[in-house]
């Protein structure tokens, strides 16, 4: 295999760490770049991953997806390192932020990090991605929330409403969870639209979405006392198993890594991989007008210039 670089956002923890580790283990010609916001956590993850895999080609480049400056600076920092050719970007970092928080640019945090930050990152980096490169967005089955949270699968209407929640609005926990659903629906709409645009531009780069399932072994679950965490973790694992939503960082990380390393994914694009099986997403996620509107409004919100918009 020729030398290749794979960027994994949020590669210091949970699913991102496991994905990066499995790629690093597959072949020492893979260089892994963990794109992380916390340098200490990144350094520790690199050390652990080198020990676990025996691959010495593991690095980090600073990236805070909650800051557009940081996302734009990432490309410059990355270029200076002269890594082998860029083959893949795994858009994995994410959070479900309650109580309400805002990014440095004033966007609601969950939508800002999960969708807007990654949208900008991928568009910025696209001209460096290899001809047969692969891009993956980590989405979630929460784009179609369980029936007790929402009777119908949510549909996208307006990116401005997702980005700018009124400062005086006080959304309930349920509303905030639906915002996470919308952020993950946005990841899927973005994948479908990007796949169409890449195809129309005659590019062979593939882009797909991935659902890892409900994982209680990552840092995603709410923080709190050890007892509280253990109870939430046990409860959600039981519900996830009963409802066929179970995942884990260990197993889902392997499946996610395969989307980058395995020949079976060559040429596969515009698909949703649910823990190893290509499946359908919610009906509203196939709304092409919605996907186009999300794309155009995202570019407006991010004030992207022509150089940043190849597609």
Ligand X SMILES: NC(=O)c1ccc[n+]([C@@H]2O[C@H](COP(=O)([O-])OP(=O)(O)OC[C@H]3O[C@@H](n4cnc5c(N)ncnc54)[C@H](OP(=O)(O)O)[C@@H]3O)[C@@H](O)[C@H]2O)c1
50-75 core/surface letters (b: 16 or more CB in 10 A; e: else): eeebebebbebbebbbbbbebbeebb
CA dihedral 168, 169, 170, 172 (to 10 degrees): -170
218 belongs to the binding site for ligand X (CB under 6 A): yes
Size of interface with ligand X, in residues (CB under 6 A): 28
178 belongs to the binding site for ligand X (CB under 6 A): no
Provide the 10 A C-beta neighbour count for residue 195: 21
Task: Copy the structure tokens of residue 129.
Answer: 């991605």
66 belongs to the binding site for ligand X (CB under 6 A): yes
Stretch binding ligand X (CB under 6 A), from 58-66, 160-168, 275-283, 301-309:
58-66
Exactly one of 16, 145, 154, 284 binds ligand X (CB under 6 A); that residue is: 16
Strand, helix or coil for residue 204: coil
256 belongs to the binding site for ligand X (CB under 6 A): no
Exactly one of 65, 195, 209, 260 binds ligand X (CB under 6 A); that residue is: 65
Q: Are strands 86-91 and 129-138 parallel, antiparallel or unpaired?
A: parallel
Stretch binding ligand X (CB under 6 A), from 14-22, 196-204, 257-265, 285-293:
14-22
- Taking alpha carbons only, the member of 72, 96, 112, 309 closest to residue 222 is 96
User: Would you name the residues annotated as active-site residues?
Assistant: 180
- Taking alpha carbons only, the member of 147, 151, 154 closest to residue 188 is 154
| Closer of 68 and 129 to ligand X (Cβ) | 68
Stretch binding ligand X (CB under 6 A), from 49-57, 87-95, 188-196, 300-308:
87-95
Site residues, ligand X (CB under 6 A)? 9-10, 12-16, 37-38, 41, 63-66, 92-95, 113, 138, 140, 212, 214-215, 218-220, 249
């Amino acid at each position: 295999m020729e030398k290749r670089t794979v960027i994994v956002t949020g590669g210091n923890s949970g699913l991102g760490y496991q994905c990066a580790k499995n790629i690093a283990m597959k072949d020492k010609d893979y260089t892994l770049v963990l794109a992380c916001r916390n340098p200490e956590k990144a350094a520790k993850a690199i050390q652990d991953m080198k020990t676990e895999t025996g691959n010495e080609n593991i690095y980090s480049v600073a990236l805070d997806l909650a800051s557009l400056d940081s996302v734009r600076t990432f490309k410059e920092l990355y270029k200076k390192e002269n890594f082998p050719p860029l083959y893949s970007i795994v858009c994995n970092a994410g959070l479900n932020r309650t109580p309400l928080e805002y990014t440095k640019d004033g966007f609601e945090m969950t939508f800002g990090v999960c969708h807007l930050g990654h949208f900008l990152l991928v568009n910025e980096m696209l001209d460096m991605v290899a001809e047969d490169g692969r891009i993956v967005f980590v989405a979630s089955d929460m784009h179609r929330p369980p029936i007790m949270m929402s009777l119908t699968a949510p549909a996208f209407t307006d990116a401005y409403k997702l980005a700018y929640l009124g400062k005086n609005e006080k959304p309930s926990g349920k509303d905030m969870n639906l915002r996470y659903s919308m952020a993950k629906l946005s990841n899927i709409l973005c994948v479908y639209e990007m796949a169409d645009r890449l195809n129309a531009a005659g590019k062979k780069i593939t882009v797909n979405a991935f659902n890892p399932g409900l994982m209680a072994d990552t840092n995603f679950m709410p923080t709190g006392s050890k007892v509280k965490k253990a109870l939430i973790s046990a409860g959600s694992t039981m519900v996830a198993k009963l409802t066929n939503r179970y995942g884990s960082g260990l197993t889902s990380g392997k499946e996610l890594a395969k989307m980058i390393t395995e020949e079976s994914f060559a040429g596969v694009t515009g698909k949703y991989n649910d823990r190893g099986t290509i499946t359908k997403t919610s009906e509203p996620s196939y709304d092409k007008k919605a996907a186009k509107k999300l794309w155009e409004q995202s570019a407006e919100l991010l004030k992207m210039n022509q150089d940043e918009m190849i597609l």
